[in-house]
Each structure stands twice: as C-alpha cells, then as structure tokens.
Structure 1
Amino acid sequence: MRNLVIMPAMAQNRERMNLGEYAEEATIIIDEPVKPANHFIEANTQEVTLNHLKNDCITPVFSKDNELTINHAQFVETIQDAAQSFFSGEKVEQATIRTSHIIKGRIPEAIHKPANQLLESDKTIYYERAAFSIDVPTIYETVGGNKLNLSIVGVRAYNQMNLYSKKVPELFRLAVGFKNIVCANLCIFTDGYKDDLRVSNTTELYRAALELFSNYNPARHIYLMQQLGDTSMSEHQFCQIIGKMRLYQC
C-alpha cells in the first residue's frame, strides 16, 4: 500500500509552482458617490433650509383683509408631502431650496431705533422668491448612456401678487420630469410636464400637485426618449426644422 502524501498549502508553494506569471495585483474598486443633479439656475440666489423658512421668516399678508399668504415653507412642505404620497414606496429626497430678493423689516417695538442699534430679535425678514427641487432617485432609467432620475421642481414669487389688495388665488409653478431646470424668475425648463397652479390654501395646493403628478406618464416619456435616439433626419429636414423654429415667433 502506497504511503499517503499530504501536499503543502498552495500559498506556501506559489514560487515553486510558478504561479507568479499568472497572478495579478488586486484592483480596489471604490464606488464614487453620485453627485446630486443641480436643477437650479443659481444666479443671485442662496441656498436655505426648510427650518430657516419656518422659524426665521415672517409670512406676508394681503393688507386689505389681513389674510395670510401661503408662505414658502408651506409651499415646499405641501409638495413634499404630495410627492411622498403619490410616489409611495419610492425614495423621495428632502427638498433643496434656494431663495432670492430678501425683504428686511423690523418689529413694531423697534420702529424708532437707529439701524445700528437694532438687535437680532428686532429684525424681520422674508424672501420674495423661492424655488426648490426634489429628487426621486429610485425612479430612473439609462438613456443613451446617461442615468436619468425623476425630479420635481417648483417656484413662486410674492411679486406676482398684489399684496395691497384682498386675498386672491396665489400662483405656483410646478414641474415633474427627468430633466428639470428652475430659476427664481418663475422660469421652469423641463422635458416632462409642468403647469401653473392657482390656489387659495394648502389643501387646494396638495390636490393640484397630485393631479399634476397623475397627468405625467414617466414610462411613456422614457419610451419616447429612447425612440428619439434611434431617429435620424436628412440635412434638408434639419434645415427645415431650424428655419421653422426661427420663424415660429412670427
């Protein structure tokens, strides 16, 4: 009967077995965090938090009947709640907010104080304009090698209303799509669906936001974008399109 021979561990015999010519140094793969998309034309805006809008800013009123406006914090919170409700089961990020045109004031007790003697507790502020974006990263598709996340953007400005009159429905602009750009001048550029919402309270705003989301079909939108990648045109057709675009305003 032959003797049993126990071979030494392979790791100890790497050089003897000439494994070096096949072995390679391990490559460490690090997943870089994906930088969130910037949906703003920033210009002279500044980024603020929802807590700042809720706790540090006053709410303007319609002077004729002293009725409150829907302030910026309520606008953002209402759309955030509507998005989380409509896209239930998906990950909905917290809103990123940018504001502009700060309006400074003071409390009645500090009316006669010189400006250099004002305390922080004497000052009041609010922002004339506010815009926000909300990403839904779990709803995405890759089109033409580009990963597209669903996002929601909104903007409103107090200067679009006459605050010296009685309360009237307020204007809000909202959009949902895979490529959105918003600025504080009430401009929204989107490849999805956008609409102007005129509402008098947050309940109407919530309902209008849900209706806007339901009017948008992301699956059809993705399909059309994918089909566009397979579309071609002749030089003559391209020139015709450019010519019609230049004449459109006429």
Structure 2
Amino acid sequence: MISTQYISRISLLREKVDSFDRYPFCLPAVRSFESLTPHPKVTFLIGENGSGKSTFLEAVAVSMGFNPEGGSKNFNFGTRNSHSNLADYLRIAKGVRRPKNGFFLRAESFFNVATEIENLDEEPGPGAQIISSYGGRSLHEQSHGESFLSLLMNRFGGKGLYLLDEPEAALSPQRQLAALARIHDLASDDSQFIIATHSPILMAYPDAAIYHFHADGVSQVAYEDTEHYQVMRSFLMNPRRVLDTLLGRE
C-alpha cells in the first residue's frame, strides 16, 4: 500500500553502527532501537530526561533537511555545532506526497531562530520581510510563550511537516490548550506532527500515537498508561497526600 503521509517509517541502520558504546548509540533507547511508524497526524515521543527522544527528533529533522538548531529548511545558521551524527544512520521512508510547509522547533534554541530572522531582515531584498510570516512583530519583543504561539498561529500552515521539541516549555496550561487546538486544525489540514514532550496536556490529543523512550528501547503506549498521566492524576486527585509522602510528613 502506498503511503501518503510525509514520514511513514523511521529505521535505524544498525549494520552501519560500528559501536553501540559511543554516543549517541549508547543512549538507552537508541541502543536497542529498530524502527518506528509515526502516526499520519500526530506522534508524541516521551521519556525521561536523557532517554534520547530529543536527540532522536533532532536526527529526524536533520535527515529531512532542517537546520539542526531549528527553523525552516531555508535556515542555514549555527551558533554551536552540537548535534549528533545519528541522522547519518537513519532511514526515513516517505510517502508519495511532499509537504508544502515545514518547521523544526527547538525550545532551547528558539532564541537563536528569532535572532536569525532579525539578521536576515536587516539585509536588503526585494521581497517582504521574513517576520511578516511570523505575525509581523519581532519575536524578541514578545514573551517566550507569546512568540511560540505566534509561530504556531502565523508561520505554520496546512499540508506541513512539523517537528517540535518540548513546545510546552514556555506555555502555561491555558496556552498549551490553545496550542493543542491549533495543532488539531493543522493536522486536519493534512499536516503531520512529531512532538517530543513531557506535557500530559499535549499528549492527551486523541488522534495520535505515543512512543515511550526507555531503557529497553522504544515502545508504543496508551495515554492512560504513561507515567506523565498517572503522576499528574495521582497528584491532582490528592495533592496533600502526595506532598506528605514526598516531604516525609507521614
């Protein structure tokens, strides 16, 4: 069957790896990784810090032609060359269609993307300024959360491929819900998302697949079985009891 989604399968070329004792192949999830089948609309990558989910997402982004520090495929800048070579060992199976839009969002380097936009707009050119595609207001003149939402609302469009690394980092719970609604609109317009996240709000999106990066590899998991959901539910059901246990007050 011919796939129409932009990324239909991600595989590790294990035969090319000369040693799984060196970075990034020594990461717990990468060490035993075989392949992953993204959801046609939204795929969440979850796991503890250091599990390898962000490194994996970065490698997918580089394999798809995005700048390692983030941005669209037209961005070509680097403030520090820190990305791994995992992209060289991935095989990305693509569908027959090609995305008309795309962006790689990294929470930790979005400041650098905003600076690059300003630098490019300072150069003389015949076309409109780049910032006009981001709402027309400098991303540096907005809060972190406001600039993220400006990106989602103005720069992202239908029929796009969007790779997001911890987009909830600057968003309040209410803004996370707003982002979720925007993701739904775009996914309904033939866009595909792969999102590394810790947010139980975002990963509650129903038309999605959740992949857990853990010590034994990568496995698909139901939302209610994620530690994020269970911890948050337990806390909200009885915060005093949880805090008493945590702080040794029992």
TM-score, normalised on structure 2?
Answer: 0.22
Greater percentage in strand: 1
Tell me the TM-score normalized by structure 1: 0.22
Q: Please tell me whether Structure 1 or Structure 2 has the larger radius of gyration of its CA atoms.
A: 1
